[in-house]
Each structure stands twice: as C-alpha cells, then as structure tokens.
Chains A and B, each alone.
Chain A
C-alpha cells in the first residue's frame, strides 16, 4: 500500500486502456442493447478505484483490481435487475440461475475471453450503418476510453456536436442484441475491410489531422497501432491487408518525431533530420511489409506502405526514388482515386520530372474543387512557382494557402514559406519542399 506513490507515474493511461476491455467484456455479458449499463458499471468501477486509491495508494495489480471491481459490480447489477432486464440472449439463462451466474461471469472475464470481446466490440463499431467518421469517434470513445471532450478535441469539433454524433452511433449499436461474432469466418472477412478503414482513419487523424496538439496526435497514432495489433493477434485478422496497414502505420510513425523542429515548427521532408527517424519502427514496418506480400491481394495499404518505405529507405530527398513513388501513386489512383492522392502524385512528379511537370499534373487533377479547403494544394502550386523563379505567383498562392490554414502549426509553416518568396537570394533548389510537410 505504501509503495504506491512511486509507481503512480508508471501506470501510463491505465484507466483509458482498461476502459475498452471492461466495456467489451460487460457488453458481451449484458448484451449489446445494454451498452449503456456496461458503460455505467465501468464508470462506477473507475470511481471506486479513484476513491480508494487516492487515499490508500495503488494496489499491487491495478488492472486486476479494476477488473475485479467491474466483475463484482456486474454480479450485483445482474442479481438486482435480472427480473426486469434481458441480458445477452445466449447467456441469459445462465445468468438467471445462482448455480451458473458466478462461473459464467468469471469465464467471460478471463484474459482470452476479453481479448475476443475487444475485437467483437471493434468489429461492432465498424457497422456499415454507422458513418466512417462516427465509427472512429465510437472506437475512440468505447475502445480507447476517450471522454466526449477528448474525442471532440481530437476532431477539433464542438462538444455538443460530438456528443450527439456518439449518442446516435451508440443507438445504432444498441439496436442489435449481440456483439459482432468474430468466430464466424465469413462475417469476419466481410467486416474486416471496414475495420481496416476505421483504424486507418484513426491513424491519419493523428498523423495529418487538424488537431494541433502533438501529444494528442501521437496518442491517436499509438491507439490505432495498438488496436491493429489486436486484429493481427487473431488468426483470422492476420491477412495481407492487415500486415500492410500495420507496416504503413509503423513506417509513418517512425517519422513523427522529426516532423517538427525544437521550436514546434512543422518541417518539410527535405529539412527533417533523418538520423532521428525511429529505426526500430522502420525495421518493424519493413518486416510487416514483407509479411504483407503473401498472396495476390494488393490493397491501398500495400501501396501506401511501399511509398512510406521508399522514403524510409532513402538517405535524403535527392536520393529518393521519386520515379518509383510516382508509379506507386499511379497504382493508388487506380485502387482509390482521390484529389488528395492526385495532389501527392503531382508533388512526387514535380520531384522526378521538375516543377513544370508538377504544375501540369496539378492542373490535371479532377475534382480539384474538393481541394479548395486543403491548404497544401495552393502551397504545392506556390512551391512549383517559386522553383520556376516566379515569385509573384508563388506569393499569391502561399497567401491563398495561409488564408485557409487549419491550425497555428500550418499557419506558421506557410508564413515561413511565404517569407521565403521575399528573400533576395534565388529560391533554394530544394526538392520536396512542396505539399504537406513530412509528406512524400
């Protein structure tokens, strides 16, 4: 008991971590329609932990303490409410009898059972009836234990709007009686792409999203990787696309520490100190990419991971194989065409074939009106103009980009680029200046 204070700093985000497992296990027992009840029980267990631990100090094994608190509370709730409420259909009968109640609940609080429940909840959250953005919000809220305020902050959204979004999505979840069944091979495979997509979006929200706070962004990326590990940990989830997605996350996450300088300013790829890239993550990413090559399946994630690998393998921007990167973007345009992919392709083309070719590729982007709120579209054009020595045009486009910057980081970055147009010296023949900092 007295030990506690010292280790208090080392429990990381224990409560957040436990939240997903506990809600998932309880929902499995109570039934999906009782999601709210499961969340209340977890909230209650956290409150008890807070009250007791704050005075008595941390227990020996905090996660086990929390699980036990949730389990005991679940038994109370079931005993009190089993006449008035139905629980999970397949367990309901077992929960009604005192002969089987405790052992049934115990069994569902076993380590392996909980891991499966976490996956069941993850797959449930990716219900096609729920919009992709809401799926990500749900995953953050339920599985990652983010409060509504924290989810809203991650999306730079208003609290009320986010609360409504999450409640609406939970209503859809609660309309189904049971969690998604991960033991059915067919259903698992059918839902898996949606799960990949949601985790990909979660990662991107952290990596490219509008939220300016670095700690929050790193946290989102870490959560995406953690949840994807759970998917890979299940035999059915260990398919090429899962490995490719994991590779993509590791390879990009490896570059995160260098995306800003020590003053917190965003750095373009060309100015990043590559010696600071996380070699361990790069090695892990490359291994995962090898694993992903099994079979004929080539997903969007394969291509994006290959692009990230091309950057990770290059000693500097000049020695980067831009031609290969352009052709990877060509494939990506076939698999998942979007104006943002086209923009990145144009930027890579500008590196391999020069600024005129880059500008021509920018002009050729279909549906470019969808990029009007994306500051790096105008910034890419400005960079090409600057490299061609046309300072006035560059200045104009940087100003356009600056006017739609989404956060202070982007504002500072674009203001610096704008200032570069003013200098007397000719623009540095610096490649990979274009586009979003840190992007290829």
Chain B
C-alpha cells in the first residue's frame, strides 16, 4: 500500500442553494465510500481562497490569490491505495469533476527508502 495526496483544483460555483446542497451531498457520499473501503488516511482540510505569498530573496510578503480561480487549490485529502493507478482510478469518482474541476493525484514520498 502506498500513500497519496488528492489536491482539488477549480470547479464552478453552484448556481442555487439546491445545487450547493446536492454537490455537498455527493462529496459526503464519495468521502464515505473512500473511508469504508479503507482508503482514507485523512479527510484533509478545505483552504481559504485568499492568503499571503512570501517570496524568496527579499522575503517580501504579498497578498494572494496566487492564480486564477480555476487553478486554485481548494483543499486536499490523504488516501491509501495499492499503486498510483488505483489512486487515480478512485479519484475518478470525485464530484469536482462534474463541475469542471480536477483532482491532482500525487504520491507521498516514502521516507524509509
């Protein structure tokens, strides 16, 4: 078993309260499924859309956002899977894909090489 991070990026804003709720319920169902199948390490956290950027050299501090909304990382989750192929396959069920967003699947580096 290897560990992976799902980085959620972009995704359209919902157009109505009902839509917001439906999306939310799909996410909850998806997360539940991951957990029930033993893939969940950490649900992770959502990230605010604004923040600060601290730049090298001058160590200057500037305001975010750092990218277009569609490129913004909105949150992350840590999962466990057999290999990257399985991790990617699992990510295909993520509701963000239905709203034009994407999931970046990145292996977590192993320390005990």
CB-nearest residue of chain A to B22: A15
For the complex, is B59 an interface residue (Cβ under 8 Å from A)? no
Q: Which residues of B contact A8 (CB under 8 A)?
A: 24-25, 28-29
Residues B20 and A5 in contact, CB atoms below 8 Å apart: no
Contact digits for B10-38, partner A, Cβ 8 Å, 1 yes 0 no: 00011111111101110111011000000
User: Size band of the A side of the interface?
Assistant: 20 to 34
For the complex, is B46 an interface residue (Cβ under 8 Å from A)? yes
For the complex, is A82 an interface residue (Cβ under 8 Å from B)? no
Residues B43 and A55 in contact, CB atoms below 8 Å apart: yes
Residues A16 and B21 in contact, CB atoms below 8 Å apart: yes
Residues A57 and B28 in contact, CB atoms below 8 Å apart: yes
B79 CB → nearest A CB, Å: 13
Bound complex: CA of A50 vs CA of B21, how far in Å?
Answer: 7
Residues A4 and B28 in contact, CB atoms below 8 Å apart: yes
> Interface SS of chain B: helix, strand, loop or mixed?
helix
Residues A54 and B23 in contact, CB atoms below 8 Å apart: yes
Residues A50 and B14 in contact, CB atoms below 8 Å apart: yes
Residues A55 and B27 in contact, CB atoms below 8 Å apart: yes
Residues A147 and B28 in contact, CB atoms below 8 Å apart: no
Point out the residue from A49, A55, A147 that lies within 8 Å of B44, measured CB to CB: A55
For the complex, is A132 an interface residue (Cβ under 8 Å from B)? no
Q: Name A1-48 residues within 8 Å CB distance of B.
A: 4-5, 8-9, 11, 13-16, 18-19, 46-47
For the complex, is A207 an interface residue (Cβ under 8 Å from B)? no
Residues B21 and A15 in contact, CB atoms below 8 Å apart: yes
Q: Which residues of B contact A19 (CB under 8 A)?
A: 17
Residues A149 and B16 in contact, CB atoms below 8 Å apart: yes
Residues B20 and A49 in contact, CB atoms below 8 Å apart: yes
CB-nearest residue of chain A to B33: A5
A60 CB → nearest B CB, Å: 15
With A55-B75, A56-B43, A147-B15 given, is the CB distance from A50 to B31 under 8 Å?
no
A243 CB → nearest B CB, Å: 31
Q: Name 22 A/B residue pairs within 8 A (Cβ), A-sorted.
A: A5-B29, A8-B25, A8-B29, A15-B18, A19-B17, A50-B14, A50-B23, A50-B24, A51-B74, A52-B46, A53-B27, A54-B28, A54-B46, A55-B45, A56-B43, A57-B43, A58-B28, A145-B18, A147-B15, A147-B18, A148-B15, A148-B16
Q: A15-B17, A53-B24, A55-B77 are in contact. List 18 more A-B contacts (CB 8 A).
A: A5-B32, A8-B25, A15-B18, A15-B20, A16-B18, A18-B17, A46-B17, A50-B14, A51-B46, A53-B27, A55-B27, A55-B31, A55-B43, A55-B45, A57-B31, A147-B19, A149-B16, A150-B18
